[in-house]
Structure 1
Amino acid sequence: MSDSVAAGLRQHGRQAMQHALLKVARKLLATEGLGKLSTRRIAQQAGTSTTAIYSLFGGKDGLMEALYLDGFDRLEAALQAFPEDDADHPVQRIVTLNRQYRVFALEYPQDYAVMFERGIPDFQPSSVARLRAWQSLRPLIQRIQEAQRSGFLLHQSPEALAMTLWVASHGIVSLELAGYFPERLEAQAMHDRMLRDLLDPDRTLGTLP
């Protein structure tokens, strides 16, 4: 076996173990909450030792950052995978896509806490991780650009508008997760209405159906 093949196999093994540890961490996060998310508990459930976590991630902070990044990878994948009707109004597509942010938060509230609410004591994402968080909005930026090319949105900065919509969605979703909207349909209606207000005729050159 050549050195390059052996190195490739070792790298594959490292990646497999990293994936396994992240999978266990996500499962513990979903079933037992942030309070049980210790390196010892994760290693135990993965059938390995804490040494593996320090070797692969550099310690708990590295593992938490990997978990943080994994959340944004899955958020972007959820936005990209969301089906849409080509017949939809271009601005309505933005509203529909942005609903998936809310759906993700409600389906994975513990992940959302790691990503946005500093749910892990003393954990601070790196600047690189923060940039990745912003990049997860690329599908939304693409929808905004499509609406602009179709003439239904003014040609302002798509990144700035995406940030505005993100802030709006994040605010109402955080309130909903905190229990301020006992009826989910009420929260969804308010969420959509808020986005429509941000994409009102003063900002658009067409009208929503």
Structure 2
Amino acid sequence: MSPRRSDPRTGPALVDIAARLLADEGPQALSARRLATEAGSSTMAVYTNFGGMSGLVREMVYEGFARLQDHFLRVAETADPVCDMVLLGRAYRHNALTNPHLYAVMFGGASLGGFSLGAEDRQYGRYTLGTVVGCATRCLTAGRFAVGDAELIAHQLWTAVHGLVTLELGEYLIEPCDADRVFEAQLVALMVGAGDTLTAATRSVAASRPRLDTEIRA
């Protein structure tokens, strides 16, 4: 008799469940028994899929950045690179709001307790920034951004959008300065700060809004 194969859906389910438990209840909630109960699987599933709890915590980070990269890859290159850059910002925010528990684990918003991540794990997702660097290079080449370092520009945009999203997830942004209002203003300001004109930046930000539904949420 051949060995029973594990359900391929179990691994991803365990990642999502573990991220939720870690963010909501802390590392003390992470146990093979608790995860198995939540996922409707056996406790062996944690070891079969991840080699243990530390492997599961590491996989949360990897999966979180994989989902972010998937959102970035949905952004098509157009004749308006600034519009594309703005849409990358919208994709970043949408991914965070769609996967809030994974987002908390990815960036240290959830305490890992005794489950540690190495420096290589923390830096794993930085490759996703390459997409933003490439777009910044296109903006520079098109003359929309001032002469500068594309990698530095990408990091500045990342830190700015990340800060807003973190405040939004913490429910700190409320009316009259709710997250949507602040984000739209921030997008224009970031493009102008990178060297674009106010008129062109405003136009590109407006053009990116319908693309969120057709390219990112689709």
What is the TM-score when the length of structure 1 is the normalising length?
0.75
- Contiguous gaps of at least 5 residues in structure 2: 204-218
> Quick one: percent identity of the two aligned structures?
27
Q: Which has the higher contact order (CA 8 A, sep 6+)?
A: 2
Matched residues in 1 for 2:125 and 2:116: separation? 13
- How far the C-alpha of 1:184 sits from its partner, in A, is 10
Amino acid at match of 2:83: Q
Secondary structure of 2:192's counterpart equals coil
Is 1:140 the equivalent of 2:132?
yes
Matched residues in 1 for 2:176 and 2:83: separation? 20
Is 1:79 the equivalent of 2:72?
yes
Aligned with residue 11 of structure 2, among 21, 24, 28: 21
* 1:97-148 CA distance string (max 9 Å, x none): 2111111111221111111234143233222222222112222222111112
Q: 1:46 to 1:83 in 2, by over 3 A?
A: farther
* Residue in 2 that maps onto 1:3: none
Is 1:116 the equivalent of 2:107?
yes
Q: 1:185 to 1:106 in 2, by over 3 A?
A: farther
- Contiguous gaps of at least 5 residues in structure 1: 1-9
Count of aligned pairs: 194
* Residue in 1 that maps onto 2:34: 41
* Residue in 2 that maps onto 1:161: 153
Is 1:189 the equivalent of 2:181?
yes
Amino acid at match of 1:49: T
- How far the C-alpha of 1:27 sits from its partner, in A, is 4.2
Amino acid at match of 2:85: I
- How far the C-alpha of 1:90 sits from its partner, in A, is 2.1
What is the TM-score when the length of structure 2 is the normalising length?
0.73
Matched residues in 2 for 1:60 and 1:34: separation? 17
Contact 2:75–2:84 (Cα < 8 Å) also in 1: no
